[in-house]
Amino acid sequence: MTGWIIPPPKNPTKTKEQFGIERAEKVQQLIRKGYLKSKRIKEALLKVPREDFIPDNYSDYAYLEVPLPLPGEKATISCPHSYPLFYEPLGLDQDHRFLEIGLGSGYGTALAREIVGSEGLVIAIEIDPSTFEFAARNLRNAGYTDILLIRGDGGLGYPRLAPYDRICLTAACPEIPPPLVEQLRTGGRLIAPVIEGKTQNLVLLKKSEEGVRTETLCEVLYVFLRGRYGKDEGAF
Ligand SMILES: C[S@@+](CC[C@H](N)C(=O)[O-])C[C@H]1O[C@@H](n2cnc3c(N)ncnc32)[C@H](O)[C@@H]1O
């Protein structure tokens, strides 16, 4: 897999109406390409304005299939298809207690908040202070005040509110951090990009009474996880 080609920064020109049309077209494209199946994930993608989670000088590219730079060290908003790519196999659904590692722009967090609904719980952890501030501001401006945002090393999880029904890592790790597996409920699922040699694979982990089973879904390319269970050198 090669790196991404990021378009150059430019002043924003698009109207809310144009973004609305692009958003609806993107959802149809994700359905056609087989990424998007669940009604709740589809409704969330139609509702959350992705352009409001992107720095102004990249917001015109909101619905292009590229990751875009965010404030912070190597932080990016992932490309649009990556949300159903992660959330569909995760089976993220109504009422789930959801832990996200790697808040980034806050866009995936906002989608999760819509998907789990008012009886669910969303907790998101970000290690980079500038990225954290950017995401917190985006979420506040978009009206998402009922998400627990934590600045710190997400590899350690957040034991205080464990166990979680679903856990999602949005940064690539050499191994799935053991504290996260511990904090996953029996019957729960975790999804993460895992580094294997020069490649990264999207891995789905299922925890049951019999133990833990993992399944490799596809090749992906994400920034590296930092912190205790991370890897030093980042990548796109
Ligand atoms: C690909 S970006 C996340 C994109 C995000 N899903 C979005 O919608 O914008 C990965 C994020 O993980 C963060 N990160 C890396 N290591 C981390 C760690 N140990 N704990 C928490 N966040 C971490 C990075 O700073 C970056 O913001």
Please say whether the beta carbons of 71 and 133 come within 8 A. yes
Tell me the residue length of the chain: 236
78 is annotated as an active-site residue: yes
Query: Model's pTM, two decimal places?
Result: 0.96
> Does residue 124 have its Cβ closer than 6 Å to ligand 1?
no
Query: Dihedrals φ, ψ of 76, to 5°?
Result: -140, 155
Instruction: Compute CA distances 108 → 76, 87, 209, whole Å.
Output: 12, 10, 30
Q: Which of 78, 105, 118, 130 is catalytic?
A: 78
What are the pLDDT digits (tens) for 79-107?
Answer: 999 999 999 999 999 999 999 999 999 99
Question: Does residue 110 surpass a pLDDT of 50?
Answer: yes
pLDDT band at 193 (very low <50, low <70, confident <90, very high): very high
pLDDT band at 75 (very low <50, low <70, confident <90, very high): confident
Name residue, tokens 């906002």: 110
Residue 2 confidence (pLDDT): 52
Dihedral Cα 180, 184, 190, 195, nearest 10 deg: 20
Residue 235 confidence (pLDDT): 43
Residue 233 confidence (pLDDT): 52
Question: Average pLDDT in the 181-187 region?
Answer: 98
What's the CA-to-centroid distance between 34 and ligand 1, angstroms? 26
What are the pLDDT digits (tens) for 112-130?
Answer: 999 999 999 999 999 999 9
What's the CA-to-centroid distance between 76 and ligand 1, angstroms? 8
> Does residue 154 have its Cβ closer than 6 Å to ligand 1?
yes
> Does residue 225 have its Cβ closer than 6 Å to ligand 1?
yes
Cβ neighbors of 198 (< 8 A, separation 6 or more) are none
Please state the atom number of ligand 1 nearest to the C-alpha of residue 125.
21
Q: Give dist(CA 192, CA 173) in Å, integer.
A: 8
> Does residue 123 have its Cβ closer than 6 Å to ligand 1?
no
DSSP 160-208: GG--EEEEEE-SBBSS--HHHHHTEEEEEEEEEEEEETTEEEEEEEEEE
pLDDT band at 234 (very low <50, low <70, confident <90, very high): very low
Token output for 20: 């609305």
Please say whether the beta carbons of 80 and 67 come within 8 A. no
What's the CA-to-centroid distance between 170 and ligand 1, angstroms? 6
Per the prediction, the chain carries an average pLDDT of 95
